[in-house]
Copies of this chain bind each other. A is one copy, B any other.
Amino acid sequence: MTKWLLPREKVLRDPVHNYIHIRNQIILELIDTPEFQRLRRIKQLGTASFTFPGAEHTRFTHSLGVYEITRQICDNFVTNYPSRNHGQDGLWDDNERLVALCAALLHDVGHGAYSHTFEHIFHTNHEAITQQIITDPHTNINRILRQVASDFPQKVASVINHTYPNKQVIQIISSQIDADRMDYLLRDAYNTGTNYGLFDLTRILRVMRPYANGIAFNANGMHAVEDYIISRFQMYQQVYFHPVSRGMEAILTHLLQRAQYLYHHCGFQQQPTLLIPFFEGNFTLTDYLKLDDNVLNSYFVIWQNHPDKILRDLAQRFLNRQPLKSVRFTQYTQKLIPHLQALICQAGWDADYYTAINTSYDLPYDTYNPNNTKAQIEIMLPDETLEELSAVSELVAAISNKKIGDQRFFFPKAMLGRHLTPDDPHYALTQTFRKYLLNDALIDPKII
């Protein structure tokens, strides 16, 4: 791949990796495409910046970071392990570098504005769109990738969808300890200002190694890998599943749903042109690529003055950070939710738009199961046999195969009736509402 080498390495400053190093013309051209630059306008963590104000970073910087970690992995492999070009015993073929780098850079290119929420409502699929952006002959990204070879776009896409023949490359980009996860943990920790996500990246990269069928970690680095798993566990508990961010997501969901409803039933005076293909369930790639956080937010700015009371109110709540409150519920307390909803209706709220249930669970580490496309983590012992991570780490074993997360019921803050006096018409109703929350132990440990 030397033909694409730049005359001089270029670097981009990055607060997490210090510098992003680029030696390949193809990478530079991919970064300069409109499809990739668009990621500058999509926040990495969606509504989390409403909880952690510093979390303003985007999928653009994250994608560069995943590229950089992949580059460092390849550098390590080519320096320290025998080349597959030079004999049958080789462990790493550096001709795989370019496909790995491109897949790393582009793995999230199909993400859209507030992806998780948006996909749920409009049935888009960022993974499918990532594939499409890479393989559709009309995109800039496809055009650049085709310079390498006519089947190169397909190769890059196959790494991302796990069908590429070389499992090493797949595992670098997508496994339970891949360049993607390592970058987002470090970057999210850096920008939120929490330190749960910190782990020793240098050490992990040092002990990461290719073997015949994949990637393993030398046993003397087991504890660094263990620490990474714990970090991920803690980031899910402390950051990714934070109830306030989810309370804002609930607002966002209902806001988009209300807009779609109005589009179909009343129309808009000033049409949200770029959203219409999605309201109608009939969108092209070009339509999709026009959406980003900025476009959605600017509609919300306009909708703050919309005549529909619910749309207007939800838009204001989203822009001005007024999350729904929530309580955790369990299988035993789930039966109370209809009662709560009834009270909320009695208080004059439209329960469709002002209540929600959100279930957030993650498996921090998953030993082998046949449906999991993410490879388990293998530790290579000094005799070159492999052991699955949870077999050698008590800490990891303790959290393996256990889902973490919770189910929460979301409702308007006003239902708590704080500051209401007994002569307020809703006083009795909010008292009943609070009694359900407290006496029936719906909540643990508190209302957020």
Residue ranges of A at the interface with B (Cβ–Cβ < 8 Å) = 8-9, 11-16, 18-19, 32-34, 37-38, 40-41, 49, 52-54, 56-58, 60-61, 64, 80, 190-196, 198-200, 202, 206, 219-220, 223, 226-227, 230, 233-234, 237-238, 270, 273-274, 290, 292-295, 297-299, 301-302, 316, 319-322, 381-382, 394-395, 397-399, 402, 404, 445-446
Contact = CB atoms under 8 A, between A and B. Distances in A.
Nearest to A200: B195
Closest 4 CB pairs of A and B: A398-B398, A15-B193, A298-B298, A294-B294
14 contacts: A13-B54, A18-B193, A34-B319, A40-B321, A41-B297, A53-B64, A56-B61, A223-B234, A233-B395, A290-B302, A294-B294, A294-B297, A382-B446, A394-B404
Contacts of A445: 219-220, 381-382
Contact of A395 (B8, B206, B321, B395): B395
Nearest to A270: B273
A32 to B, nearest CB: 7
B446 A219 contact: yes
Contact of A294 (B192, B196, B273, B293): B293
B194 A13 contact: yes
A16 B193 CA distance: 7
Nearest to A387: B445
A13 B223 contact: no
Contacts of A57: 54, 56
Contacts of A14: 53-54, 193
Given A14-B54, A295-B301, A298-B294, A37 B206 contact: no
B395 A402 contact: no
Contacts of A19: 202, 206
A193 B53 contact: no
Contacts of A294: 293-295, 297-298, 301
A278 B53 CA distance: 30
Contacts of A223: 196, 234, 237-238
